[in-house]
Amino acid sequence: MNKTIVLIFTFYFVFTIAFLAENIIKNGNFEGKNPIASWSEKTEKNSGKKDPEIVADTSIKKEGAQSLKITTHGKKDLTILVASPVPVSKGKTYRISCWIKNNGSSFELRQDMIKANGQHIQERYKRNIATSGTFDWKYFETKVAVRENEKKMGFTVFAGGTPGTIWLDDFKIEEVITQPGSEVAFRMTPNCYTDNNVYALPQDDPMIVYLTASNEAQHVSKNPRIVLELPEGIELVGCDFDSSEHARPEKVDIDGRSYTRYDYKMGVPGIILGNVDFSSTAFGSVVIILKATKPAGDETLKAFIHFKDDKITCVRCPFDLKIIPSIPKTLAPKNFETGISSGTSLEFFGAPLKEWISFYKKCGFNEITIADFLRTGSLNHKKHMRDPEPIVQAMKDDGLIVYNNSSMLTNGYMVRYIPMSKDIPESVFIKRANGTIAKNAFDPAYIYRNGEWYLKAVNYILDQSIQRGYDHLWSNWEPHMYRLQNGSFTKLSLEDFAKFTGIPNEEIAAMDPQEIPKKYPDKLMQFQSWQFEKSMQVLNDIVNKKTKESGKKINLLICVGPNFLDDFVKGKQYWDYTGCFQTKDFLKHFDRISSWHYLYYESKQMLDKKGRKLIESGYRQGEMGTLENRTHREGLDKVEKMIDFIGRTCRNDNRKPIPYIHLSQNLQCNEWVVTPEEIGLQMLTAFIGGAAGIQLYYFPMGYDGRYWKSAAEANNKIAIFEDYVMKGEKLDAGFEIEPLTKLFKDKDYKQNLTWRAFKKDGKILLAICNFDFLDPAIFNLTAKGLDIGDYVAHDPIKKEYFIYSGKAETLTLPPMTIQFWIIEPHSKDIDYGKKIGTAAQKESIEALDKKYEDRMQKIKELTDVESESLPDYSKIKEIQAESFSAGKTEKDGSVFYRIANNLQSLMIELDKGACLKEWKINNVPETSMIADTSFGLFCKERFYHPKGYMENAEILKPYEFISHSLNDGELQAVFSRTIENGELAGVTITKTYIIPQNKTGFSLKYKISSPDNDGKMIGLWVFTTPSILSLTNNAKPELEIGENKYSDALKTVSIYKPEVVKISEGFEKTLKKYIGHDNAFFTIKNASAEISSPDGTLKINVDKDNLYSYLTWPFFQKTAGATFEIIYLPVRVEKDSPWETTLIFTPEIKTKKGAL
């Protein structure tokens, strides 16, 4: 579990199975004067924090007279309640259930399976239920099947981890009693999450269908079978790899309709019948190939599957089919690699497999990735266990390139499922800081010493790959076991760490390994990064040597996390996981590289009303799993960024950029779902972004014909246009798009309408992209720089064109579409197809604008927290007096507050923390004082306190406009907000911007007040991104504080701290946590600072009595540079005694004529 556990309940049960339904737990609904009297209690105090409160609540309950209410105030509260276990029987299934009401807390339930001697079976620990957030009473349940040697069962509840209150009630554990005929059931996956479980089956095209099984009763069967009943016009092409026909097909009548009944032996029953519910779709499904032989139509056809063996016949489980038109044959790219990583989708052989391969190539794919192991227990037609060789050979016989997605080699350093596994000594494996051994994971120090067992294991895997006919080896490589305490602390690794860091070996040898990550976190990460790179080098060397020995070229394709292929920025989210592993070093070892990016919506979210509505409004989830306003434009940006990084890194190594293969994750473990259009959109996004190929990860995994159609259409476009993109010149300018609807003028949506262009042989390929999920884009397209004369823009796929003669053309682009136009001089001798009109349609624009307004209102209602309001700009009255002006203004679809005098202008973004978004010196309008970065906000305040740091979600909340006025030759604008959540709830921040008359620069006055009589301890932290600290025009900025000058601001994180300043240990720990440890440190004597570069200077004056330190932090976003941050000493802010401080910023911009 990734969070600190606040509360642990361990429930055990004392009653026999016969009475489980009536009396499952003693006082499971927490009745009586002492609701937890039945459990022994242990509470660990929490260092001065308020202890958790565990009480009966008679006003809020689900059942009975009361519930158990738990209120937690911190992250380390711990209470344990223990009772006795319940006897359970092998082969039976039990349901654990409860009711929960939550207000900000977190909850997890873990099953505990226990042997006869009372020992917990740790490998059976499983977090069955997890939830967090705020919601009313909600029912939760999980099912657990009892295995061999499991005599008793309990479960552990973890509640807390964040401040909040949670109510628990009505815990139960019951044996699952299944009615006769319902022992084994089936459900189609993943279409149960899309289109009401109707599967689109293209006419005459073989489709892979997943029918997931649930053996809730854990029925044991010796001769399990599946019986399929398919309506007339639908035929069964093939069944699972080691499945076989039990009885010949027969015609039957069901409800007056003709059906064909197929009776087959169940494939891999040991896995499929182990499911207690429908959650295991990848391995727990019967996988079949169906084909429609009748024409497409609107009718929904009912099909059936049921389980049968020598003892029972289960009831029919229906699944619905709809026939759609056949997928047209498409072109296949010649240079761009395109394929799928099939997972468990392709466990077929013989005629069914051959027919499917023909269809696969018809869709334009030219390669495929097949795992080197089939599902456990499967036999191929040569009677070899789990061996995919016949599949690989069939693919190669049809001309496909085949990658081996190795199950035997995981992350490059973990080896499994090979004959020698049982002989490998534990001494060569990773030993974690706590002393546990990571089985099958080799110690990196052993790897880069060319350890014998590692060499043997990898060579065995390569030999098997060659023998089975694979062309290349694909391996995921993530540093799960190279991170801090999870890294290797063997004797060899510790000796190497001492040598690498220069720390005396005696000191390291004498330390408890668990203290090393605490004392030397940054040094340890740097060392583990070095180990990571050295291990990768060894793997690549083994592969290259095998290529020479075998005479067969083996390409090793390593798939790394997306942040690997990026410039390292300390402090970036997950930097210790994906941002600090010597990418620039390890990349030189490989001839190609792969990574991923994905957006999806979670199937579980579809059961949530709010989540479903957000998905319907165009929201999606990404790596962190939260629903947000995100589109596949992110994928384009991600691919282009990785391509740029790879190119720069390779050129620094004096070699050509290596190919990048993009991995598109579309379905994983039945919880990630995308729409059909997104498959093709992801493929085209990778293509125009510069990737050399695309792999659809875990595809089709049950996705239907609409998804295949989307992929086939994308392959066709790639094949037609690949010479432009892969051999032509990419254009960075030459076209402008002016959106005509409000949606694409909105600052949060405008990036979804964009273009990319490529020039080859005097022609231009223009790709126009609309990444919005819902709405078409109407826009004006203007081309610049074309030679005089008429040009034609034509789409050779849709066979349409328009004549371009230099004026803006109005076009419409559907949602989730990339349309390609070839632009060339117009010729009357060429038939371009149908000419389209380009006039704007006023009615369409008005209708789309109304749709946009409704959509924004819906999203606002769904995302508002406690009706939090956006800034009310209507209260702002314009000021035009003397040399001043102030008021609201619009730019790029956003509303700002603008304040200016005759020499400068400031734009303040009220809905993002009342920060400066723009600061221009008017005499030099092209010069902004704020760096162009993705986080380019100036005067953004953060707050720290002894317990932590303000959450990111709280930092940029909206401010309210209070007033603006002229006073004594100055213009003052006042803004305010009150923090609503967390440790600083109730604290009010007032920001006053003050600009003088006839001068550049401004003052920012902070006033912070607390509602508490006892006050709150608060530390202010002001974040700025001065453009003078940007590396533009080869500038080498310097920082001057007092009489000292520093040139390290752009090299590393640097701290500048007055010598006499000291703060409490709690605050010191908080700051170290967020700033880091081993940074450049300078002692200063004067609080005034001046940043200078060839572009000018910026002077910053602070209240020296309140200064804790300055901080500079390098960044590499859009343009390289550094932040300049002012950290104040923490102060106690009391109810009647607010704290105030003032910052003064004075710029001096230099031009060719001199300073202004």
Angle (CA) 667-670-676 rounded to 5° is 45
pLDDT of residue 134: 76
Identify the sign of the CA torsion 1030, 1033, 1034, 1038: negative
- 217 CB-contact burial (10 Å; exposed 0-12 / middle 13-18 / buried 19+): buried
Q: Which one is the CATH code of 185-324: 3.40.630.30, 2.60.40.10, 3.40.50.720, 3.30.70.3040?
A: 2.60.40.10
620: DSSP letter: B
> pLDDT tens-digit profile of 236-253?
999 987 899 999 999 999
> pLDDT tens-digit profile of 42-53?
655 454 456 777
Kindly state the average pLDDT of the residues 205-217.
93
313: DSSP letter: B
Q: What are phi and psi of 94, to 5 degrees?
A: -125, 145
pLDDT of residue 192: 63
Residues of the chain with CATH 2.60.40.10: 185-324
CA distance 987 to 1135: 9
Give the chain's end-to-end CA distance (angstroms, integer): 58
100: DSSP letter: E
756: DSSP letter: E
3-class secondary structure, 710: helix
Angle (CA) 443-446-449 rounded to 5° is 150
pLDDT of residue 7: 39
CA distance 517 to 496: 15
> pLDDT tens-digit profile of 997-1021?
888 999 999 999 988 777 788 889 8
Kindly state the average pLDDT of the residues 799-828.
92
CA distance 632 to 637: 9
pLDDT, greater one: 36 or 526: 526
270: DSSP letter: H
CA distance 416 to 393: 24
The CATH architecture of the domain made up of 884-1155 is: Distorted Sandwich (2.70)
CA distance 655 to 652: 8
CA distance 524 to 1122: 25
Identify the sign of the CA torsion 601, 605, 607, 611: negative
3-class secondary structure, 421: helix
pLDDT of residue 967: 84
> pLDDT tens-digit profile of 621-656?
876 667 889 999 999 999 999 999 999 999 999 999
Please report which confidence band the pLDDT of residue 1076 belongs to, taking 50, 70 and 90 as the band edges: low
DSSP 285-311: EEEEEEEE-S---SPPEEEEEEEE-SS
Q: How many residues does the chain have?
A: 1156
User: Closest Cα partner for 815 from 926, 942, 675?
Assistant: 675
Please report which confidence band the pLDDT of residue 283 belongs to, taking 50, 70 and 90 as the band edges: confident
Of 363-377, 599-613, 997-1011, the least confident = 599-613
**Beta strand residue intervals within 721-832, DSSP E:** 729-731, 735-739, 753-760, 763-770, 777-783, 791-795, 800-804, 809-813, 817-825
Q: Are 156 and 112 in contact (CB under 8 A)?
A: yes
Kindly state the average pLDDT of the residues 318-339.
97
Of 3-7, 502-506, 1056-1060, the least confident = 3-7
Q: Are 1018 and 945 in contact (CB under 8 A)?
A: yes
pLDDT of residue 772: 98
> pLDDT tens-digit profile of 74-96?
665 555 555 467 888 888 888 88
**Beta strand residue intervals within 372-424, DSSP E:** 401-405, 409-410, 414-415
Chain centre distance of CA 635: 11
For the cut 70, the answer to whether the pLDDT of residue 1067 exceeds it is no
Residues of the chain with CATH 2.60.120.260: 7-175
Q: What percent of the chain has pLDDT over 90?
A: 44
Average pLDDT, the chain: 84
Angle (CA) 539-543-545 rounded to 5° is 115
Q: What are phi and psi of 53, to 5 degrees?
A: -105, 120
Write the secondary structure of 836-848 as one string of H (helix), E (strand) and C (coil): CCCCCCHHHHHHH
Kindly state the average pLDDT of the residues 56-72.
86
Tokens of 298: 């609107």
pLDDT of residue 214: 92
Please report which confidence band the pLDDT of residue 1096 belongs to, taking 50, 70 and 90 as the band edges: confident
Q: What are phi and psi of 498, to 5 degrees?
A: -65, -45
575: DSSP letter: H
Give the position of tokens 């999920």: 773
Q: What angle do the packed helices 389-397 and 350-362 form, to 10 degrees?
A: 50
CA distance 137 to 132: 13
Tokens of 376: 């456990």
User: Closest Cα partner for 564 from 602, 522, 593?
Assistant: 593
pLDDT of residue 1156: 41
Angle (CA) 751-754-760 rounded to 5° is 150
CATH class of 7-175: mainly beta
Q: What percent of the chain has pLDDT over 70?
A: 84
Residues of the chain with CATH 2.70.98.10: 884-1155
Q: Are 392 and 368 in contact (CB under 8 A)?
A: no
Q: Are 12 and 85 in contact (CB under 8 A)?
A: yes
Q: What are phi and psi of 671, to 5 degrees?
A: -110, -10
3-class secondary structure, 61: coil
For the cut 90, the answer to whether the pLDDT of residue 822 exceeds it is yes
Give the position of tokens 């009255």: 877
For the cut 60, the answer to whether the pLDDT of residue 951 exceeds it is no
User: Closest Cα partner for 442 from 464, 463, 472, 412?
Assistant: 412
Q: What are phi and psi of 45, to 5 degrees?
A: -65, 160
CA distance 897 to 772: 29
At position 663, the amino acid (one-letter code) is L
Q: Are 147 and 113 in contact (CB under 8 A)?
A: yes
pLDDT of residue 568: 60
743: DSSP letter: G
pLDDT of residue 216: 86
3-class secondary structure, 362: helix
User: From the DSSP assignment, how many helices (H) and strands (E) are in the chain?
Assistant: 18, 67
> pLDDT tens-digit profile of 465-495?
999 999 999 988 877 677 778 899 999 999 9
600-628: burial string, b at 16+ Cβ within 10 Å, e else = bbbbebeeeeebeebbebbbbbeeeeebe
For the cut 80, the answer to whether the pLDDT of residue 191 exceeds it is no
Q: Are 109 and 127 in contact (CB under 8 A)?
A: yes
Kindly state the average pLDDT of the residues 785-803.
86
